[in-house]
Amino acid sequence: MVVKLYGPTCASSKRALVCLIEKEVEFEVVPVDVSKGEHKDPEFLKLQPFGVVPVIQDGDYTLYESRAIMRYYAEKYKCQGTELLGKTIEERGIVEQWVEVEANNFDPWAYKLAIHVLFSSIIGITPDPKIIEESEANLSKVLDIYEERLSKSKYLGGDFFSLADISHLPFIDYIVNNMGREYLIKDRKNVSAWWDAISNRPSWKKVLELYRASI
C-alpha cells in the first residue's frame, strides 16, 4: 500500500519527505492546515494524540515524530535507494549521534528563532528581542562546533549523506532563505560548503518545489 504522510508543508514533515524520496518509497500526502487548527481536529487526534505533524500511515501501521519516521524507513528499506544509516555499526553510531545533536542542541534554538522571527504574527505572539538574541547566540555556538566537525568530513555523519544531514534541512532553509540570517551559515566555510551540498540534493529541491509553505 502507498504510504500516507499527513501535513507535508510543515518543517518537521519535510525531514520525513526527504527520507521517503531518498529511499524511493512511494507515498501520497494528506494536507493538514495547521493555521486553521486542523491538527487539533478529533479525527486527526486519533492518529496523533499530541496534535502535531507529521504522521504516516503505512497500511495498518501508524507512526509519528519526524525523526522516528526517518529511522523507520531508513531501516525498513535499508537495501533500497540511498543508504542513510551507514554501512557499519560504527558509522550508524555517528549518524545517530548527530541526529541527537540536531534534536537536542540545534533544533531548540532554531525553532525559537523561527517562532519569533517568522511565525509570531501567525501564532499571535509578540516577537521577543531577548529570545531572538539568545537563540542566535546559542545557534552560533552550536554552529562553531559544526564547523570543526565539518573540517574533518564532508557530512555530519562522515563522508556520506545521512539522516543527520536530512534532520537539519528544514530549519537551515528558514535561516538562510527566510530569516535574513544566512550569515550564520555562510560565514563558516565548512558549514557553508556542507549546506550547499545537502541543499542541492534533488530530493530536497523536489520537497521545496512541491511542499514549500507560504511564509
Contacts of 11 (CB under 8 A, 6+ apart): 114, 170, 171, 174, 213
Nearest to 71 by CA among 51, 48, 96, 93: 96
**pTM, full prediction:** 0.95
Cβ(66)–Cβ(74) under 8 Å?
no
CA–CA gap between residue 19 and residue 162 (Å, rounded): 9
Residues 154, 158, 159, 162: is their CA dihedral positive or negative? negative
CA–CA gap between residue 24 and residue 18 (Å, rounded): 10
Residue keyed to cell 529511499: 23
* 131 phi/psi in degrees, rounded to 5: -65, -40
Which residues, listed in sequence order, are joined to residue 29 by a DSSP beta bridge? 5
AA identity, residue 146: Y
Tens-level pLDDT at each residue, the chain (215 residues): 799 999 999 999 999 999 999 999 999 999 998 888 889 999 999 999 999 999 999 999 999 999 999 999 999 999 999 999 999 999 999 999 999 999 999 999 999 999 999 888 777 788 899 999 999 999 999 999 999 999 999 999 999 999 999 999 999 999 999 999 999 999 999 999 999 999 999 999 999 999 987 76
